[in-house]
Amino acid sequence: MPATSLRDMRFLIHDVFDFEAHYATLNSAQTVDRELIDTILDEAARFTDGEIEPLNRSGDIEGCRWDAGVVTTPGGFKQAYEEYVAGGWASLCGSVEYGGQGLPESLSLFLEELMSSANMAWTMYPSLSRGVINALESHGSEEQKQNFLTKLLSGEWTGTMCLTESHAGSDVGLARTRAEPLADGAYAITGTKIFISAGDHDLAENIVHLVLARVPESPDGTRGISMFVVPKINLDGSANAVSCGSIEEKMGIHGNATCVLHFDAARGYLVGAANEGMRYMFTMMNAARLVVGLQGICLSQAALKRSIEYANERLQMRSLTGPKAPDQPADPIIVHPDVRRLLLTQRAIAEGGRALVYFTGQIADRLTAGVQQDDSAQETEAMLEFLTPIVKGALTEFSFESVNHAVQVFGGHGFVRETGIEQYVRDARITMIYEGTTQIQGLDLLGRKVLLEQGAGMLVFLKQVNELIAALKKSGGQDLAEFATQLEVITKQWGDLALDCAGRAQANPEEVGAAGVDFLLYSGYVALAFCWGRIALVAQQQLSASSAAAAKGAAGSAEAEADQNYLAGKLATARFFFARILPRTAAHKAAIESGAASLMDVSAEELSSI
């Protein structure tokens, strides 16, 4: 069955966020109307449901194979990639000058959602190319764009980001990979990179690696990092000195090759200026972090659909208030309160998280494409920078909780491989680690975006929240007014926490690290509350209009009743979120206010005494 819901996607795209109107404000030569959006969604769904979703389980079971430096992907993966290229999906976004279709970047998020929900491991092969495309479009020379960008946008070649080394982990400033200048202006790249997703495979004829390395006499640390484009196959058709030493045996995403790559004086080309690699890296990394947050939501959504289907079919025990299916030997488990808690938590995370990604995608569009008659680029950039660690860090944490709830709904049947539910848990676990762990996102959010930058992006986002609060109050609905009150309280508390952290960090910088993850998760719940407030406002408006039409005799069909149930379901999930999920912020507030002492006053010897 389809792994995600086109109806849910369209509800957010058209009704909640009005992407057609959004696209009309962008400085773009391409007209993107509702008809085009729906056509893209329909065609993308046909591709994902027909080509890659059937490979999800088989790809997980078979995995990738490494033999003497050659990587083979699971059966069917190569053919699916050929269909992807033939369908023009690789060029959906990107500069027309280099072969792209020039469509807004947020459209690629919709495609990414459909693909990752169907088969995350397969999707990572073309997805990694987006980061390389973004970096080369922003920082590459004209020659590099002609040589590499055209092939990436056609899908003939794929791309990777080669950042991590075994001794450095997330601290790329410790990188030792060297770049020695050659007489013709190229560089000889020497070093080993690990954990390179899609680092080698048999899907495309060439792979373009963006590699962080050091030129001679570069400064220590991150100030001395440069970026190079290093193809697996040289431009003259000869093999470059890039080899895959092994692929990792991983917990999940078995269908994607996570590689150890050796560069042995491989021929590479400097991107931009020397020692500016860290700045260029974040062009890739920030876009990738939005995608990783979306990947977590995609797995949560796919698991939710399976959970709802199972909960309606699985018979077990009777309702505490009497039989609900008296003609059956037991009631379907969806009648039991705690099963509903599990399902509603999954819905609150999956649907609210999707909304947050879409909202952030619109902000990214406004920054990259520019907005007609608008001079707020600085505020737009600040809000995007602020929301990025929340999308990546908080949504992946929430999504991992969600897929684990799916296992619980299935019970023992979720723990065995037969149903495929446990794969979602294994695949989702990596999203909390790669492209920067949750801890790194927490440090980035609190330490940089709130304290160092004095909360510039947070203040812009709060303007949006306050506008929503005003709209909820004007709606006249009791539920919506209560949501507005809760949002007022929680955002006031959020600002106070930020100021409190700032004060304590001045006396003890360890307070930032101690509070980082709790502040990140607190922020994630606030962001989801904002999204559920927007969803509820639109759902209530449409439900009121539908009820008014029914009262006049203009409705009453089965289709109209289904629409009313759909909208009522959105409101019910919003009520659940504000009643049951948002109060979790109290625990994070208490943890933040407890300070660093409980973490740092214990000695290493005491901590290690086991």
pLDDT in tens, 359-406: 999 999 999 887 766 668 899 999 999 999 999 999 999 999 999 999
Sign, CA torsion 449/450/455/458:
positive
Q: Point out the catalytic residue in the list 113, 248, 397, 435.
A: 435
For Cα atoms 512, 513, 519, give the angle at the middle one, nearest 5 degrees. Answer: 70
Instruction: Please tell me whether residues 480 and 567 are part of one structural domain.
Output: yes
Give the three-class secondary structure for 29. coil
Give the end of a domain, one of 455, 473, 500: 455
Q: Are residues 310 and 438 in the same domain?
A: yes
pLDDT tens digit string along 219-254?
A: 999 899 999 999 999 999 999 999 999 999 999 999
- Is 314 inside a domain boundary? yes
Burial class (CB in 10 A: 0-12, 13-18, 19+), 270: buried
| Torsion sign, CA atoms 218, 221, 223, 228 | positive
543 neighbors 568 (Cβ within 8 angstroms)? yes
* Spacing of C-alpha 515 from chain mean position: 23
Whether residue 447 sits in one domain with residue 369: yes
Helix 478-507 × helix 558-576 angle, to 10°: 30
Q: Is residue 82 included in any domain, yes or no?
A: no
Q: Which two tokens stand for residue 294?
A: 């979306």
Question: Domain limits at 588?
Answer: 460-596
pLDDT of residue 27: 87
Asked if residues 168 and 174 have their Cβ atoms less than 8 Å apart, the reply is yes
CA of residue 185 relative to chain centroid, distance: 37
Q: φ and ψ at 602, to 5 degrees?
A: -85, 135
Residue 225, in any domain of the structure: no
Q: Which of 588, 391, 382 is nearest to 500 (CA)?
A: 588
Flag whether 196 is in a domain: no
* 438 and 464 housed in the same domain: no
Identify whether the C-beta of residue 108 lies closer than 8 Å to the C-beta of residue 40.
no
Contact status, residue 153 vs residue 133, Cβ threshold 8 Å? yes
Does residue 197 sit within a domain?
Answer: no
Together in a domain, 544 and 414: no
pLDDT for 559: 83
- In DSSP notation, 121-158 reads HHHHHHHHHHHHHHHHHHH--HHHIIIIIHHHHHTSEE
Give the pLDDT confidence score for residue 555 in this predicted structure: 52
Do both 389 and 534 map to the same domain?
A: no
Please count the CA atoms within 13 angstroms of the CA of 331 that sit on its side-chain side. 16
The b/e string for 155-175 (b: 16+ C-beta within 10 A; e otherwise) is bebbbbbbbbbeebeeebeeb
pLDDT of res. 476: 82
Pairing of strands 242-247, 226-231: unpaired
Phi, psi of 191 (to 5 degrees): 160, 180
Going by the DSSP 8-state scheme, the letter that residue 227 receives in this structure is E
Q: What local confidence, expressed as pLDDT, does residue 56 receive?
A: 98
Assigned domain for 133 exists? no
Q: What is the CATH number of the domain that holds 303?
A: 1.20.140.10
Q: Tell me the C-alpha distance between 158 and 225, whole Å.
A: 23
The answer on 469 and 485 residing in a single domain is yes
Whether 301 and 324 map to the same domain: the answer is yes
Is 160 a member of any domain? no
pLDDT at 477: 84
Residues 441 and 466 in one domain: no
Q: Which of 411, 440, 455 is the last residue of a domain?
A: 455
Q: Are 172 and 212 in contact (CB under 8 A)?
A: yes
Give the residues of the chain that fall short of pLDDT 50: none
Statement to judge: residues 402 and 382 lie in one domain: yes
Same-domain check for residues 427 and 467 = no
Q: Is 246 helix (H, G, I), strand (E, B) or coil?
A: strand
Same domain, 324 and 444: yes
User: Which two structure tokens, joined as six digits, stand for 317?
Assistant: 């025990």
**Measuring CA to CA, which residue among 209, 76, 201, 241 is closest to residue 136?**
209
Provide the pLDDT for residue 22: 96
**Distances from the Cα of 300 to the Cα of 7, 186, 391, angstroms:** 16, 45, 14
Q: What's the pLDDT at 372? A: 62
Structural domain ending residue among the three candidates 455, 473, 504: 455
Is 180 within a domain?
no
Number of domains making up the chain: 2
Active-site residue 605, yes or no? Answer: no
